[in-house]
Amino acid sequence: MRIRSSVIALIAVFGALTAGSVFVVGNLPEQAESREDWTAPARTAGGLDQPAPLDVEEDEGRSETASVEIPDVDVVLEPDFGFLDGYPNGKRIYGVMTADGEDDEIAEFAALAGRSPNLIGVTAGWARDTYSPWYTERLALKGAMPMVSWEPWDASKEGDVDQLRSEQPDYSLTKILDGEFDDYIDNWAEGIADWGHPVMIRFAHEMNGYWYPWADGRNGNEPGSYAKAWRYVHDRFSRVGAENAIWVWSPNVAYTASTPLPGLYPGDDYVDWVGVVGYFGHFSEPPTSQPGFDGIFEATLNRLAAITDKPVFITETGAGPYGPLKAAWVTDSVEAFASDERVGGFVWFNVNKEFDWRINSSAEALAAFTSAVKDPAFADAVDPYAQHLTGAGRP
C-alpha cells in the first residue's frame, strides 16, 4: 500500500520530537507582572524544515527513497522538573533571595555572581498573598528549587522597631490553631498539590526571636504553641495530598535571650530540612574584625545537632558593608558553605535593607563572592528543557 507523503512527513515530525535532537529552543515571552495572574509561558521549538529521506513502500512491494520537505512547525515544549526530585543532586545549595523576587532582580544577581543560583527564595505573607504558580513554577523554570518563606502576618505593618512589628494579634498562633486561617492554608496546600513538584516551604521562620508575631511569648502565644501551629499547618497540607511540600524549619542563630530551640521543634516527622539564619552585621558600631563562619554559626549548629539529624543549610545570610572585612567574611563563609559537613549550602540575602547585604556593595566584596561560588561543590542551575536540546540529556 502506498503511504501518502503528508502522512510520512507527519510521522517524521513525531520521530524528530521523540528523538529530541533537532530543537533550537526559543526565548520565553515576557511574563505577567501580577503574581496572581501569572501563568506558565509557552516555549516553542522549530527548525523542522530539513529534507528527510524516507523509505516509501510501493503497492507492488517495491520500495523507493523519497525526499520530503517538512514545513516549519512550532512545537510547544513541556518543561521537565525531574531535577527537583533529587535536589540538590548530591551537591550543595547555592541560593538567593532578592527584595521582591522579581525576574529582573534574579537575573541581575546571576549576572553579577557569574553563576545562576540553584535555589531561589521568595516571600509570601498571609495578609494578601494567595497561591500562584509565580511562587513555584516560575522559579523552577529558571532551573532552581523554589523556596517560599511563608509568613503568617501583615508585612505592610512592618516597622523599624522589632518589638512593635511583632504585635499583630490578628495573626496569633491561637487563631491559626482555632481554624481561622483554614481557607487560606488550604488555598496554598491545594495549589502546591496541584502543581505536583517539590517546593520548599519555610514556614514562620526565626521563631526563636521576638520580632515576628508567631514567636512564643508574642501576641499571647503560649510556650509550645509554635510547634503545635507548625504541625497543624503541616497536617492540612497532608490532608489534601501536598506531599511535594518540603518543610524547612528555620530558626535564627541562637543568642543570649533567644527562645530555646528544643521547645520550638515540631518533631522529625514534620520537618524535612533545618535552615539557619545568620548574618555578619547588626552592630551598633562598625566591627573591627570579622568572626568567620564559625563565629556566626558554630554555637547554633552544635545546639541543632543535639535536637535532630535532619539535613541543615543556611537559609539566609549576608554581610554588612564593612569594606575589606565583608570581603574576608564572604570568602571564609562561602568556602565553608561549600565544604563544612554540617551544612548543605546557603542562600544569600541580596537586599539593601537594614544594611547593604548585597554581593556588590563593594567591588572587593563582589570579587570575593564571584570567586568563591565557582566552587564545583555547588549544584548548577538546570535547564528544564535540556532534554530537547541537541546533544543534551537529562541532568
Q: Which residues contact 39 (CB under 8 A, 6 or more apart)?
A: 32, 133
Residue ranges in the chain modelled with pLDDT below 50? 1-32, 47-56, 58-59, 62-65, 390-395
Supply the pLDDT for residue 34.
Answer: 77
pLDDT of residue 161: 64
Strand partners, 228: none
Gap between the Cα atoms of 227 and 234, Å rounded: 11
What's the residue count for the chain? 395
Residue with cell 539593601: 352
pLDDT confidence of residue 42: 84
Taking a C-beta distance cutoff of 8 angstroms, is the pair 24, 46 a contact? yes
Q: Residue 227 carries which side chain, given as an amino acid letter?
A: A
Q: What's the pTM?
A: 0.85
Separation CA 265–CA 274 (nearest Å): 10
pLDDT of 248: 99
pLDDT the model gives residue 283: 81
The pLDDT tens digits of the residues spanning 154-174 come to 998 876 666 678 899 999 999
In SS3 terms, the chain reads as: CCCCHHHHHHHHHHHHHHHCCCEEECCCCCCCCCCCCCCCCCEEEECCCCEEEEEEECCCCCEEEEEEECCCCCEEECCCCHHHCCCCCCCEEEEEECCCCCHHHHHHHHHHHCCCCCEEEEEEECCCCCCCHHHCHHHHCCCCEEEEEEECCCHHHCCCCHHHHCCCHHHCHHHHHCCCCHHHHHHHHHHHHHHCCCEEEEECCCCCCCCCCCCCCCCCCCCCHHHHHHHHHHHHHHHCCCCCEEEEECCECCCCCCCCCHHHCCCHHHCCEEEEEEEECCCCCCCCCCCHHHHHHHHHHHHHHCCCCCCEEEEEEEECCCCHHHHHHHHHHHHHHHHCCCCCEEEEECCECCCECCCCCCHHHHHHHHHHCCCCCECCCCCCCHHHECCCCCC
pLDDT for 156: 87
Provide CATH 3.20.20.80 ranges for the chain. 82-372
Q: What are the grid coordinates assigned to 174, written together?
A: 491561637
Is domain 82-372 annotated with CATH 3.20.20.80?
yes
